[in-house]
Every structure is written in C-alpha cells, then in structure tokens.
Amino acid sequence: MTITNLDVYQIDLPLHEGSYKWSGGKSVDVFDSTVVVIKTDEGVSGVGEVCPLGPFYLPSYANGARTGIAELAPGLIGRDPLQINAINEWMDAALKGHPYVKSAIDMALWDLKGKVSGLPVGVLLGGFQTKDVTLYRAISQESPEKMAEKVAGYKAEGYTRFQLKVGGNPNEDIERIHAVAGLMDADNKLVADANTGWLKHEAIRVVNAIKGLDVYVEQPCLTYEECLDVRRKTDLPFILDESIYNIQELIRGFTDGAMDVINIKISKLGGLTKAKLVRDMCEQLGIAMTIEDSWGGDVITAAIANLAQSTAGPLQFTATDFNSYVTVNFADGAPKRVKGKMSASTAPGLGVELKMDVLGNPVFSF
C-alpha cells in the first residue's frame, strides 16, 4: 500500500457563544481549521485535522499549518502509510520543529491504519479502558458574575469539570475564582487556567488569596521556571500545559515535582504518535492528564475521544468536546456530548465520515 494523494481543506468554525476570550485580552471569533485527507492506491483513505488557537497562543497559526503541510506533502507520495513511526522520523528530518504542521498528517495515518485493520484508533492506541470520558467546559474570560452564570448553566447541562479562563487582572481573577468555587458540588472539579497570563508576583498573590478553596491552578506564568517557583509556594494542585511540549519537558517536570496534572494537546506534541508516547509515560509515572488539543472540530474531537478512552481511567483527569463549541459540523460519526461525557465511535479508524458538501473543494492537492 502506498500514498497516492493528499488533499487539504480549510473550514471556518464559528462559535456558539460568539467569541472565546482568555489571558492578555486574546480573543477568537471564528477558528480556522485545516483538514487533511490521505488517499492510497488500495482505495483506503485517512483523515486528520489541525486547528491552532489563533496565531498568538502557541507558536502556530492556521496558514502556517497549510504551508507546512504543502512543504511535506510531495515527500509523502509513494510512502507506505502504515509505517507511521518511519513517516514521523522522515517529517522531523524534512521539517525541523513545527510539530503542529505534522499533527493532522499523523492523525490521518492513524485513521487510515484503523480502517485497514478494521479497528478503532482507540484500540490501536492501547485499547478502550473506559466506556466514556468526562468532559470539561472552558469558561471564556468575562466578569465574575457572568462566568459564574455560565458555569451554573453548564452544570445544568451535565458538565462536572470547569476550566476558568483567568490570567488577567489578579484582583478580578481572585473574584472570578471565588464566585465560581461557591457553585461547585463534591464531584465537581474547578481549574483556574491562566494560560501563562500572570507575572510571577501576581500568580503568588492569587494562589495565596484562594488558599483553602478546592481549585486547581493551571500554567500561571509564561516560563517553566516561574511556574515551578509558584508551585513551590502553594499547596493547591498544579497543572502544566504550555510548558510541556515534549517528552523531555515531561521528565523534567516529573523530576522537579513541578505538577500533578498535565495537558496533552495533540497538535502541540506533533500528533497522536507523540501524544501516545507522552500519555504512556504519564501512566507509568502516575501523572493525571487532560487530553485535548488547541482547538478543532469533529475530527479532532474524535481523536481526543480515542486517545482519552485508551488512557487508564484513574489518570483521565478530563477531556473536551470542541465540536460542541462550534456551529459547523463537517463529519458524521464524531462523538457527541451526553450529560457531560462523550464516547468514541467503535467504527474502524477515528469513526468519522467527512461531509464533502460542507467542506467544499480542497485548497490544494498533491
């Protein structure tokens, strides 16, 4: 079996809530997602997706994803798509860095492998260990009252995990956290996610002001070293996200005792292959995980569900269902939220079928 064609599509994903806001005044109204379809000489194809959180979050952006894929695409033609590790090694040699560029390609290879084997990607990633995964809801940064109101509404829909977007004015953030913490039930989890937005002295003020609350603190500062210093000044459970971008940083964080939970973003690591490597290491080290991506639609949501459900249940901190945030669905078979949980399809591959009438024509093909 060899790769014969690679088609790349672009699709806009508007938000039900109109906009998504987080630290530093960052905001996105419409997410620009890229969908990759890899075709073979045996008629089997695989699909992947990458959707950066705008150009000002991680070192990634939507046009960069498509430009990078166009750089790699000619070298993929004629390769055996089932040799996923070999293709990843070739991509890393052909294009230094830019892991997000490679993510959709890698995801499509796993989807294709699942279809060839007749197995869901979750089985190939280690086997489904739970029947579903508990979801979190990200709460866009607004006034304390508005954020509390939204949390109450999402609780009524069945969510039990909430990720507050803080990292703004520390005084307002303290109010935001207190306003929502009072709404939590015993089985709820609350995360105050600063997305690197606080300076170290601000983060220390916040963790001292919320001492005694049942809340997790996520990525308070830009650098690993700053986060580690804040970690050492609080007893609150600690999550690292942006600082954990490869297996080496995971090992460093574990050795330093820098975190209790990490966020695995599939595209930040370079695809399902490397996300699985980090996931497997976390399982061995006893580190809990939020399994997600920067953003996405139906395909990324399916990949998240497959990776999360093939993760040991006690270490599944939470995951997310991006396709419920957006107004456009472009694939059938993607997971759908039911009372704060979702389940991966048991169909081969990622279990999704693209709606070509929604995607339209590819922006380029090889």
Same domain, 294 and 161: yes
Task: Tell me: do 103 and 160 sit in the same domain.
Answer: no
CATH of the domain at 49: 3.30.390.10
Cβ–Cβ < 8 Å for 180, 162: yes
**Amino acid residing at 302:** A
Q: Same domain for 158 and 282?
A: yes
CA distances from 130 to 62, 236, 307, 316, 319 (A): 33, 28, 11, 10, 13
Total number of domains constituting the chain = 2
Residue 337 and residue 321 in contact, taking contact as beta carbons nearer than 8 Å: yes
What pairing do the DSSP bridges indicate for beta strands 341-342 and 133-134?
Answer: antiparallel
Mean pLDDT value of segment 112-121: 98
Question: DSSP assignment of 355-366, as one string?
Answer: -HHHH-S-SEE-
Write down the pLDDT at residue 56.
83
Active site members:
165, 265
Q: What is the mean pLDDT of residues 149-164?
A: 96
Which percentage of the chain shows pLDDT scores above 70? 100
pLDDT of residue 23: 86
Instruction: Note whether 195 and 297 are same-domain residues.
Output: yes
Distance CA 42, CA 25 (A): 49
**Token pair belonging to 233:** 């000044």
Q: What is the pLDDT of residues 143-155, one digit of tens each?
A: 999 999 999 999 9
Mean pLDDT computed over 322-349: 96
Report CA torsion sign: 59, 63, 69, 74: negative
Q: Which two tokens stand for residue 121?
A: 């990607």
Contact status, residue 74 vs residue 54, Cβ threshold 8 Å? no
Give me the mean pLDDT over the 41-52 stretch.
98
87 and 199 part of one domain: no
Tell me, yes or no, whether 93 and 198 share the same domain. Answer: no
Provide the residue range defining the domain that includes 157: 124-353
Question: What's the mean per-residue pLDDT of the chain?
Answer: 97
Chain-centroid distance of CA 188 in Å reads: 21
202-251 per-position pLDDT tens digit: 999 999 999 999 999 999 999 999 999 999 999 999 999 999 999 999 99
pLDDT value at residue 238: 98
Is the domain of 178 the same as that of 267? yes
Task: Find where tokens 């015993």 sit.
Answer: 186
Residues 129, 108 share a domain = no
